Chain A
Amino acid sequence: MKKLVLAVALTMGSSLCAMAADEVIKAPPAAPYEQVSKLVKLPDFLPGMGQLFVDPTTLPAGPFLAYDHDGKLVSTIYMLPIKDLNPDKRFDDLASPGGNVDHVDVYYNAGHPGVEEPHVHVVLWHVSAADEARVAK
């Protein structure tokens, strides 16, 4: 009986994840996500990242959802201020609606409108490393 309950729970869980991924897999994602270039003065398409959407209430961490020129989701990005990476601060339970992750990049960013301080980009790529070229330019 316990096994059956667990199986049902796992099935429901994976279905919910699939539903979440379906809702964000094409641009524009549903509210509360908003286009970053309409929230702050940034280019609409950022070379290396793509077209970004974010729920403004989750700033600065995000998640930011990044799409290619065809409106397909390529990555989920978290932006973590360097000053907040300390013993007194945590980033817990960040949403990850984008589904399967192929690989992850972590790198320093000096700042930009919206996150105006040095921070770390944690990028969950939903496409292969070769397909990162879809948002290179």
Chain B
Amino acid sequence: MTLTRREILGAGGGLAAALSLPSLAVWGGEMVEIKMQGRDDGSHVWFDPIGILIKPGQTIRWSNLNPGNSHTTTAYNPTNFERPLRMPKAAKSWDSDYLLPNESFSVTFTEQGVYDYYCIPHEHAGMVGRIIVGEPEAHGWAEMIGANGDLPEEALKAFPTVEDIMTKRVVRRA
């Protein structure tokens, strides 16, 4: 379901390392970009966009465009540090590990539903994001007891609503 890769951006755009890369295919159309950004003094960090609607089979690429910081894109999933499940149960989890400036990481999404993810060093600062693939699944994780788990208040406050993403397709931070 999920194919991941890690790249170095810039001249040549060469593939620096490959993670679980049996083959690379984009079934559903164009690559979607999410930027990892931050102020120069590190006082504020964010994913741009913070919420996005894509079609099943589309690939999202996260790129660290923050010259003074490292970021991760890490799914809320028990396989990642026993975090609560906030993505479709049948979908495969992901964790980019730390991306240095100009590095990127890609995931292809095939399972319909709502996916929440965070940046490991910046979750407490509210650096989280939400992806909706197709339509929100019926009786998904959002209805499960404990879905908020140990998430910090700053992270919970930062997620755009499902309704907002379904309406606007792309949601940027306020």
Q: Which of A's residues lie within 8 Å of B, judged by CB?
A: 40-43, 46-49, 107-113, 116-118, 121
Contacts and interface: CB of A to CB of B under 8 A. Distances in A.
B59 interface: no
Contact of B121 (A43, A49, A116, A121): A116
Interface in B52-96: 67-70
Contacts of A121: 41-42
A48 B68 contact: yes
B43 interface: yes
Interface of B: 38, 40-45, 67-70, 97-98, 100-101, 120-122, 124-125, 127
A41 B98 contact: yes
B97 to A, nearest CB: 8
Contacts of B45: 110-111
A42 B40 contact: no
26 contacts: A41-B70, A41-B97, A42-B70, A43-B70, A43-B101, A47-B67, A47-B68, A48-B41, A48-B42, A109-B41, A109-B43, A110-B42, A110-B43, A110-B44, A110-B45, A111-B42, A111-B45, A111-B121, A111-B122, A111-B124, A113-B70, A113-B98, A116-B124, A118-B124, A118-B125, A121-B41
Contacts of B70: 40-43, 112-113
Nearest to B121: A116
A98 B122 CA distance: 30
B69 A48 contact: no
Contact of A47 (B40, B43, B98, B122): B40
Contacts of B98: 40-41, 113
Contacts, number: 60
A110 B125 contact: yes
A109 B120 CA distance: 15
Nearest to B69: A112
Given A41-B100, A112-B70, A48 B40 contact: yes
A107 B43 CA distance: 8
B44 A43 contact: no
A49 B68 CA distance: 9
A42 B43 contact: no
Contacts of B125: 110-111, 118
A110 B68 contact: no
Most buried by B among A40, A49, A118: A118
Nearest to B152: A117
Nearest to A114: B121
